[in-house]
Chain A
């Protein structure tokens, strides 16, 4: 079972709640994914429409744990204030910390990220930092108090899978005991299975499910891929080799020439 900040999770799929065609489809997808954690955000509420109140009602009915994010924050100050607001509204110390440094790739500003992570950890938050596969940054985040890391697979919403396999493998090898959740860039279930085969602990998926033609069906497909990938990791995959190696024994082969 996956343990993050003293919470045990059976499902290794964390699901985003954004970009679904309708609230009903979102509900179906969350159920089909069997996710126990969904990500949410905070946005301006209009006193007339009160869209946020309706959304919050849907999430509460699902009975899942929420992981609020600081999406869209470009400075430490913004991220800190957003985290404090999220803690009050969602009544959780969990925060998916995003400090965005570059708009084309939505690449994290890792300097601001470490600074914000340190302040929030000291303030009692359980920080889930959205980071890169950089080993030194990972080390600084752990030193700042994070006990989970969320390295990107590829830029948010790009669906490109695991962009830097070498870097991600190195991260996994360097921090064998830290829960590592691949966040962002997963496009299809095979990407998620690959992450699990490499020994990552969980995957956060949003766009790949929300923008699928049939989101609930895709959510179920991801759940299966994660289970298969995890089982494969535990089973110990073979080492790849460059040349062929016959799988059928040569000994005892009939001479028919």
Chain B
């Protein structure tokens, strides 16, 4: 299936968010995730099922004012 990751379409076989992050190469990176605009805490990623067309945001610390 295809999911939109940070604005770019990506192909994935992962059925949940935790598996998708690993497959996408985020590994142990410190990131926060939101699925279809809703925050998904680290501990809930394995329970967050993915479906075709989902919008995933993967954010990390960045410079800010």
Q: Assess A18 versus B63: contact at CB under 8 Å? Given A44-B7, A77-B37.
A: yes
Chain B 23-59 interface mask (CB, 8 Å, partner A; 1/0): 0111001111110011101100000000000000111
**Measured CA separation A71–B62 after assembly (Å):** 11
Chain B nearest CB from A61 CB (Å) reads 13
Question: Smallest CB–CB gap between A159 and chain B, Å?
Answer: 13
Q: In angstroms, how far is the closest chain B Cβ from the Cβ of A90?
A: 7
Are A89 and B61 within 8 A (Cβ)?
Answer: yes
Question: Considering the chains assembled together, what is the distance between the CA atoms of A84 and B64 in angstroms?
Answer: 17
Determine how close the nearest CB of chain B comes to the CB of A103; give it in whole angstroms.
16
The reply to whether B26 and A18 form a contact with Cβ atoms under 8 Å apart is no
- Determine whether A175 belongs to the interface, using a CB cutoff of 8 Å to chain B: no
A111 at interface, CB cutoff 8 A: no
Which residue of A has the minimal Cβ distance to B41?
A88
Chain B, interface residues (CB within 8 Å), range: 20 to 34
Give per-residue flags for A79-112: 1 if the beta carbon is below 8 A from chain B beta carbons, else 0: 0010011101110000000000000000000000
Interface size on A, residues (CB 8 A): 40
Any chain B CB within 8 A of the CB of A206?
yes
- Per DSSP, chain A at the interface is mixed
Interface string of B1-19 (1 = CB under 8 A from A): 0000011000000000000
Provide a sorted-by-A list of 17 A–B residue pairs whose CB atoms are within 8 angstroms.
A18-B64, A41-B62, A41-B64, A42-B62, A44-B6, A44-B58, A45-B26, A50-B60, A51-B62, A53-B60, A81-B34, A81-B39, A84-B32, A85-B32, A88-B41, A156-B65, A206-B65
Q: 10 tightest A-B contacts by CB?
A: A52-B60, A41-B64, A16-B65, A85-B32, A45-B60, A47-B25, A206-B65, A43-B62, A56-B61, A84-B39
Q: Chain B interface (Cβ within 8 Å of chain A)?
A: 6-7, 24-26, 29-34, 37-39, 41-42, 57-65
Residues of A participating in the B interface, judged by any CB pair closer than 8 Å: 16-20, 26, 39-48, 50-53, 55-56, 59, 68-69, 71, 77, 81, 84-86, 88-90, 156-157, 184, 204, 206-207
